[in-house]
Chain A
Amino acid sequence: MSFGTMFLQMGAGMGKSLLIFALTLLFSMPLGMIVAFGRMSKNKIIQTAVKFYISVMRGTPLMLQLLVIFYGPYYLFGMNIGSRFAAVIVGFSLNYAAYFAEIYRSGIQSIPVGQYEAANVLGYSKTQTFMLIILPQVIKRILPAVTNEIITLVKDTSLAFAIAYQEMFTIGKQIAASQTSFLPFVIAGVFYYVMNLMVAFAMDKAEEKLSYYR
């Protein structure tokens, strides 16, 4: 098999890897905010339930979680989740939401209480206070941690091979096996690396943009 054919076949999978990446961010980042609020809730039941959710998501391998989501319903209820893709997106989003939630929580709790008090005395509503005063400062503070998480996500998309979803790395491994070639791994490595260079560049720009205040 020529390099060109190999690259084309893996290229089809790259689109899918990028799709996992994009959809996971799209769902897990807002979901993480909800989880963070649940984690900080004064309601003990909600708080405990969310704590348990986070500890399971962080305490077990994502690969295992994907297997459970895809095969679990079959063994438990005898029903099939038809779509490997859906299982991948659900698994990734639930997992990453837990990590984002903890990052958000650390950011929110690092904002001095005086900021809330100043906003309160000036008459800002709770929503205004959070959206206008607190959240912008939280975003600035958590950017480095979020960058870490996004970079990990780029590489984690390869875990979709666990349920044989045909993203780039899954295809690459198949080609490597059938062609007894090392080249697919090189292509995969370059892909992840270049992708993460772009992520780091974009996040650097974002940090720079927010560096006008301390």
Chain B
Amino acid sequence: MTTPAVPAGSGTSEPEVPRPWALLAELTHACPLHCPYCSNPLELKARSQELATGDWQDLMRQAGDFGVVHTHLSGGEPLLRPDLEEIVTAAESAGIYTQLVTSGTGLDQARLGALTAAGLRSVQLSVQHADPAASDRIAGRRSFAAKERAAALVRAAGLPLGLNVVLHRDNLDALDAIVELGLAWGVDRIELANAQFYGWGLLNRAALLPAHEQLAVARDAVDRWRTRLGGHPDLVWVVPDYFDGVAKPCMGGWGAVSLTVSPDGTVLPCPAAATLPGLDAPNIRDHTLEWIWDRSPAFNRYRGTAWMSDTCRSCSRRDEDFGGCRCQAFALTGDAARTDPACGLSPDHGLVRAFAREGGADGPLPYVYRYPGRAATGQPDREGVSRSGR
């Protein structure tokens, strides 16, 4: 790893590929919740395949040297890793700002104290609905009370707290109550992320797709709240790309801004990219982060515009949306290099229009809950998190 030792303008050139800013560390796929919208792949990595403590520590050192500024410690539920504190310390020592992305289950005073002492900077907490029973039903587990306690602990510790809510047909109508919940919990930021359909979530698309009117009402509500709140808490609306006719600038471009490391050390340009056939994703056990980012075929596959179809290559928006999402193009058309069907200019846009019309059509549909190795029952199980996982 080379760091420019001389100031810019005195002969050094910028690295060929701009360096990544952020690292999504999926520390484990184990999770106490069973959310139907889970975007993790159908095939989860077993705990026996997970990177060891030392692997994550070494990765954080490499990432800091390479220019990564932020890491999101996520999963699954990262609190299920008993060595989370050691990983936080490694990131902090490497100069990387740490954010814990958690369901809140298992976050007690002692654990938060240990994480804060290790250098944890901020927390993002998921909630499934503003109503406790509805939240528990969507999560497939009694968890709302634990989330409420976790929020209070994070506030008391003085860490910035963000609320993350995946929106779909069963909670969009509660948008006002969700914002009010965030205010009551004293959060700094509310991420209102319209469900995207990858991994497990694709199985539940029919049950989760909202009606068009639901979205329109929710969007208006967000506008009203933004005006009223004046920027605090910050409301982030992640667009529902099935409905807007506009492709999202997925990940800010392939291998452009951030990278994801899966529990087993697979390094990906985005969390869903493991599904792409023939990607041959590199593993941090086998290669340096520098080689993976700069040189690996996987990270170079959809960089720039040479790979694009004519639809994208000739489009004035090609440098704004980068052709949209490769994983969605693959999931819907079988060809990851096609224009994202979410884009109104895509020849495959009819596929997305057809799905969008189905949204909210019938009464509530049952979820296919994510229970590894078990049949879906729809019954929330008992509260409490096993530290050893499942």
The reply to whether chain A is a binding partner of chain B is no
Q: Spell out B's residues near A (CB within 8 Å).
A: none
